[in-house]
Structure 1
């Protein structure tokens, strides 16, 4: 039966998405090369300058995060940024408030990458500067496309391995806010129509385009359920925020890129919107500004889920950042201790234009875990980070995450959180029920 469903899905993918470029498995930092794209060449000349902003005074008619024009001292800090740019031969390109950190962030551009390298330490020594760092460019690399209520759900690993249909009798992610920082989402796709509560474009501020990776990730997290078509999202009733922090490059390979600045803007928006789960299907080098924003999110009790780069010893950033739920695929044998393992091969997902395809990779494993976290947070809204991790990766007698990669048992996680079981259950002495092994 599963083979027949997979064959039908592949035929549907060819018929409806023949022109869709190969689907990426993760977002990764692109190394510098002599054949750099225009975006990469620009990023290599740019830096992020942070200036300290005073705490905003309460004003019932103003919102510091939403109305930057009324932010306290905004003009004074912009004047300082212009002075610093002039003193160091830089151009002021853009700026954005980061109230979660009490900062204003300015994008400055040098005449060359070498000039930027010389200027960064000089700016860091200036007493007017809170901090400064080079801009980093993240990229989306292709490696993943394989070509009763929801016809394709029988092919979903989460439906079979996680007993998703049974879990949905207890929770569907209702009222849980999940922010996906990715490329643009096709909000008109039949499986996503009405599912995305908020869309924002932090790349160019225009109308959000329908792009491949973002559409796939959003669908895996929150696609419509029991609508007679496509797949069922892991958390179909979650409040999904589609935050475009990355842009798909033209061409046949489906590559995409995002920068420290676009990701930081999206993270700040997610915090302002009271997101409870952040999905970051991306990986790259450590980034100071993004790390500080993640710390602010974690301090507020936000769950951050990130895809692991198994080619990097520590799993890459942000997966290796303390407090982040690092997710790899069950087939990633190089996963480090403490990593959560989720299905990562042959996952049905929507594609722009109304089609579906099969995708593979840690990006999609992370998206499934973000959906599962939404289910757990619906069942226990006050769930603390340590309790959540213990539910997903129990360590007997310790209540902490395992020191080895842990294969997620979704049914058991629900029992630990809710003391109820929706899967194939037997009586258990320590809980009202437990999943049958």
Structure 2
């Protein structure tokens, strides 16, 4: 009920970067043996070439104008020589003023010892492990559906989305999803203009019909009123999928790492996406945190899945300003923001439908709700959205109280219930 009240209230109120480069085979090595690699950043003091005046979200997608400077090249060569490192991938991140390199450590070296030495190196601005991350979903029993059945979308109905769609379907809002690949020609996504970016390997992104990304895209934006399947929260939003995670052959689980996620975040910084969905989690990561903070400073909304223990920590859920979402009932309801995340009907590769569980699914639905809000109120920014969703008072309201509160509150300061059920 609170979801329906919240959505009704909210809708009634109605730099540049160069692409990373890696030697052939380096990406596969990093994916298979991440514990043998470190991420190092050094200052890259370059002057930006003249560009058009003014800055806005729509201007972020301009042509890259940065390369590795001579000073950074010399420093990195010295660092590699002193610490016996071999370059595996490198790319400038102009928004942070650094040049990043993924180095492979010597075969007989301890990564902890190498990182400790790098931390004492005055020429190094950042040194960290090549962290691994994973999508935060759990597999559901193998009940599968071949035919559309909207009544099974209990989370969708609990959110009051059918009512909200009378006012907004997410049109005009760009959502960036950083995840695994997805079946973008699924019957419930077929025909949608989805920009695809494979940042893991050289394979065509359109050919990678992976499960987790398909589930997340389906919840956010499955096509409505097409006579089949399910309906997404924001079926008219514009979508970009950044494949930064992949499925391992050994255990069948999806993984990401610091390098692939950094590439995705840099690419999103060069886009006009206003909503970024990160249904994944892992340890604190200094480089990824800096990139995410840059997105937040630009007023974008970043929605992340809360770890299974329900604690707001690690990357990305622990980064201040991120809208961190738990599955309803996760960690005894201790999380500040919850959404349906148990046995949620969504899309599966092969043109199928099935249930999925986890905070990944909860975060995807909240990303859809954020798109509805932005479509109805384009002037809202990330902090205003976060305030509305988390609710400063955090107490339940009746429908009349919510509507009266929303109408009386100044723009960007509306208050909403904090626990979505």
C-alpha deviation, 1:121, in angstroms? 2.7
Return the alpha-carbon distance in structure 2 between the equivalents of residues 418 and 272 of structure 1. 36
**CA 1:73 to 1:111, structure 2 compared with 1: closer, same or farther past 3 Å?**
closer
- Between 188-197 and 318-327, report the one with greater CA deviation: 188-197
5+ residue gaps, structure 1, are 1-36, 397-401, 420-429, 432-437
Could you say which residue in structure 2 is the equivalent of 1:346?
A: 343
Return the alpha-carbon distance in structure 2 between the equivalents of residues 277 and 408 of structure 1. 27
Counterpart check, 1:135 vs 2:130: yes
Once the two structures are superposed, residues 274-333 of structure 1 have per-residue CA deviations (whole angstroms, 9 ceiling, x without a partner) of 211111111111111111111111110111111111426445432122111111111214
Could you say which residue in structure 2 is the equivalent of 1:325?
A: 323
C-alpha deviation, 1:127, in angstroms? 3.0
Counterpart check, 1:244 vs 2:239: no
Return the alpha-carbon distance in structure 2 between the equivalents of residues 162 and 175 of structure 1. 21
Return the alpha-carbon distance in structure 2 between the equivalents of residues 80 and 88 of structure 1. 12
Once the two structures are superposed, residues 174-204 of structure 1 have per-residue CA deviations (whole angstroms, 9 ceiling, x without a partner) of 1111111100011111111233431101111
Which residue, out of 140, 144, 149, partners 1:152? 149
Return the alpha-carbon distance in structure 1 between the equivalents of residues 312 and 79 of structure 2. 36
Is the 1:196–1:242 contact (alpha carbons within 8 Å) kept by the matching residues of 2? no
Which residue, out of 25, 30, 39, partners 1:48? 39
Return the alpha-carbon distance in structure 1 between the equivalents of residues 279 and 400 of structure 2. 24
Return the alpha-carbon distance in structure 1 between the equivalents of residues 398 and 151 of structure 2. 19
Which residue, out of 85, 92, 98, partners 2:87? 92
Could you say which residue in structure 1 is the equivalent of 2:262?
A: 264
C-alpha deviation, 1:39, in angstroms? 5.6
Residues paired across the two proteins, number? 371
- Between 80-89 and 221-230, report the one with greater CA deviation: 80-89
Q: Which residues of 2 match residues 224-303 of structure 1 at below 5 A?
A: 224-250=223-249, 254-303=252-301
Is the 2:220–2:233 contact (alpha carbons within 8 Å) kept by the matching residues of 1? yes
- Between 269-278 and 111-120, report the one with greater CA deviation: 111-120
**CA 1:76 to 1:55, structure 2 compared with 1: closer, same or farther past 3 Å?**
closer
**CA 1:172 to 1:410, structure 2 compared with 1: closer, same or farther past 3 Å?**
farther
Could you say which residue in structure 1 is the equivalent of 2:170?
A: 173
5+ residue gaps, structure 2, are 1-27, 53-58, 409-413, 416-421
Counterpart check, 1:121 vs 2:112: no
- Between 364-373 and 385-394, report the one with greater CA deviation: 385-394
What RMSD over aligned residues (CA atoms) do the two structures have, in Å?
3.2
Q: TM-score, normalised by structure 2?
A: 0.79
**CA 1:120 to 1:315, structure 2 compared with 1: closer, same or farther past 3 Å?**
closer
Return the alpha-carbon distance in structure 1 between the equivalents of residues 407 and 177 of structure 2. 26
Is the 2:137–2:356 contact (alpha carbons within 8 Å) kept by the matching residues of 1? no
Once the two structures are superposed, residues 101-146 of structure 1 have per-residue CA deviations (whole angstroms, 9 ceiling, x without a partner) of 1222110010248532222232233333221111111234762323
**CA 1:221 to 1:285, structure 2 compared with 1: closer, same or farther past 3 Å?**
same
SS at match of 1:247: strand
SS at match of 1:263: helix
Is the 2:136–2:279 contact (alpha carbons within 8 Å) kept by the matching residues of 1? no
Is the 2:300–2:381 contact (alpha carbons within 8 Å) kept by the matching residues of 1? no
Q: TM-score, normalised by structure 1?
A: 0.76
